[in-house]
Chain A
């Protein structure tokens, strides 16, 4: 079993929809939780970063961490076609980051 499991997708939604992207993990030592966005033929870029449990909001994006359930989510409000990309969760304790396999999102105009 992988340390990080990400909802596989792909996900297709109409413009304006609320999107929920999710990951579960098994390593209780993870303290840092990140979401990366990867456009086609580009490298991943950091989108959101949280430390320990709680919510963090940045514009239309909200990252949520529930350490008791070992579950993290990324919510996208009022989704736009420009949000179409692959979203990767990543987690880290004292060692190197561990990435999920990614969820590909398509937002249709």
Chain B
């Protein structure tokens, strides 16, 4: 079956513009995560959606960042008034987070990411 799909794969934008990044998780996965990865750095947690629960937004770096998940499936990460320091790879991951034992709950499946460059 299809894995996690992210679009666009690359995005170049001008400082001050808004951007929208899209994530299509694996069908049936209830949990969805957004991470940011700067060059040579680890994964910076941004936001976590789990089923119908309120999202965990504790990782969003500023109020310019927001995300939504419609119908428990597709998610969009929006960055308003982009700044040069927003340039990074934005990764989306999904997981089952329930059901068939601990292994299924904890494995995150990642998309290939959106490489954002803010000029």
Partners in one complex: yes
State the A residues within 8 Å of B (CB): 6, 32, 34, 36, 41-46, 49, 51, 88, 90, 92, 96-102, 104
Taking the closest CB of chain B, its distance from the CB of A25, in whole angstroms, is: 14
Identify the stretch in B38-46, B62-70, B78-86 within 8 Å (CB) of chain A at 4 or more residues.
B38-46
Tell me the nearest residue of chain A to B115, going by C-beta: A41
**Majority DSSP secondary structure for residues of B touching A:** mixed
When distances are taken between beta carbons in the complex, the residues of chain B under 8 Å from A34 are: 106-107
Asked if B106 and A92 sit within 8 Å, CB to CB, the answer is: yes
Tell me the nearest residue of chain B to A4, going by C-beta: B42
Asked if A88 and B110 sit within 8 Å, CB to CB, the answer is: no
State the B residues within 8 Å of A (CB): 4, 33, 35, 40-43, 45, 48, 56, 91, 93, 102-103, 106-113, 115
Asked if B108 and A101 sit within 8 Å, CB to CB, the answer is: no
Asked if B43 and A43 sit within 8 Å, CB to CB, the answer is: no
Taking the closest CB of chain B, its distance from the CB of A103, in whole angstroms, is: 10
Taking the closest CB of chain A, its distance from the CB of B97, in whole angstroms, is: 10
Tell me the nearest residue of chain B to A31, going by C-beta: B102
Q: Given A49-B103, A96-B33, verify A43-B111 contact (CB < 8 Å).
A: yes
Question: Which of A6, A51, A96, A99 lies at the interface centre, i.e. has the most chain B CB atoms within 10 A of its CB?
Answer: A96
Q: How far is the CA of A93 from the CA of B91 in the complex (A)?
A: 22
Asked if B107 and A88 sit within 8 Å, CB to CB, the answer is: no
Asked if A43 and B42 sit within 8 Å, CB to CB, the answer is: no
When distances are taken between beta carbons in the complex, the residues of chain B under 8 Å from A42 are: 112-113
Asked if B107 and A101 sit within 8 Å, CB to CB, the answer is: no
Q: How far is the CA of A36 from the CA of B103 in the complex (A)?
A: 14
When distances are taken between beta carbons in the complex, the residues of chain B under 8 Å from A51 are: 102
Asked if A99 and B42 sit within 8 Å, CB to CB, the answer is: yes
